[in-house]
Amino acid sequence: MGEKDSETAPIWGKTRQRESSNNNNIHPMDLESSSLSGQQRSLNRSRSSYDERGRGVKEFRSWFPWLIPCFVVANVVVFVITMYVNNCPKKSGDCFADFLGRFSFQNTRENPLLGPSSLTLQTMGGLDVKKVVKGDEGWRLLSCNWLHGGVVHLLVNMLTLLFIGIRMEREFGFIRIGLLYLISGFGGSILSALFLRSNISVGASGAVFGLLGGMLSEIFINWTIYSNKVVTIITLVIIVAVNLGLGVLPGVDNFAHIGGFATGFLLGFVLLIRPHYGWINQRNAPGVKPHRFKMYQGILWTVSLLLLVAGFIVGLISLFNNVDGNEHCSWCHYLSCIPTSKWSCNREPASCTRSQSGNQLSMTCLRNGKSASYILPNPSDSRINSLCVQLCR
């Protein structure tokens, strides 16, 4: 399903296999075409076309990308449902974009990303470590990847997913890219749960970073088929470094980014491996044929699979034994937020004391000591939580 018979294009740069404009034959890439010897030219003319030589080699098929767009649609639908459940006008009252009615956003002082309340995100399946560990709700490690904190959060993730994911699915097919996306998101959730113990975490960022990690490892595992490897690697490293650098800002779950990237990087060696250039070039030639994969590819595949399995086992055992990663790594919290004079990295959830006297609600934030009074007859729990979050900012 989703398979096409057309030639596949490389994700990054050029492969060593390319089509000759004169006779549609494939030959190794040469820096100076004029330097080809007569013997080399004769050899190139005698080689069969890419379509003929690549027929039956599943690693070099081109696929129609349908799964990634489905993932995007699913994320958008889940966000719409989340906003419907949020129902800000009824549950909170203080909303942004009131003309949207039931779909209006929480006040921007509570949620600057234009989205629902943290209470709604928790209800819809956000990553809450206490509920995962003590409430036997491990499914939240998966469900949180389909939720987003707001329109801004959703747009950034989905645009990135479309840009990266469609190209990868066209190159490697929906099964491998689907697994890469889902497993990377799961890995990001595990690392996030081990270090961010008190906040609700949501978003597809871990899965998206997993695709970036897979793109990088795919270059290493398929080293022989690429020509401009160094430039490509430098470009990818810069992209990842910039995005991880932005992750040290407050309110961003950089542990999900790091966990997703690491998972995707290891998984790329396992899922995205291709036969080396020599094998695909001599597959139909008479005589002794080279092995399908080079030794270094087998070593990378084996080591990555072992590390991946070990990482998931250790991570899940630690999580469900309520291990706090910060107790074993005193500096790791700086990977997700670096405090400055401009902002604080206090991630403790908003907590307030309150008292109701008639129509007057008095609240005090336990985190910063701020107090405020509101005229609210019979406020809902969602409204009280919203006011507490605003008071503690």
Residue 257 catalytic? yes
In sequence order, which residues have a C-beta less than 8 Å from that of residue 232 and are 6 or more positions away?
A: 12, 13, 219, 226
- For residue 214, what is the enclosing H or E element? helix 205-221
Packed helices 254-271 and 229-246: angle between N→C axes, nearest 10 degrees: 150
Residue 37 catalytic? no
In sequence order, which residues have a C-beta less than 8 Å from that of residue 160 and are 6 or more positions away?
A: 208
Matching residue, tokens 């910039």: 242
What's CA 354's distance to the chain center, in Å? Answer: 39
Rounded to the nearest 10°, the torsion over CA 130, 124, 337, 239 is 130
Which one, of 187, 118, 193, 181, lies nearest residue 149 by Cα?
Answer: 118
In sequence order, which residues have a C-beta less than 8 Å from that of residue 141 and are 6 or more positions away?
A: 127, 132, 186, 189, 190, 193
Which one, of 44, 11, 50, lies nearest residue 30 by Cα?
Answer: 44
Q: What are phi and psi of 350, to 5 degrees?
A: -65, 130
Q: Is 30 in a helix, a strand, or coil?
A: coil
With beta carbons less than 8 A apart as the criterion, state whether 277 and 225 touch: yes
Which of the residues 62, 92, 189, 205 is marked catalytic? 205
Which of the residues 257, 304, 382, 386 is marked catalytic? 257
So which residues are the catalytic ones? 205, 257
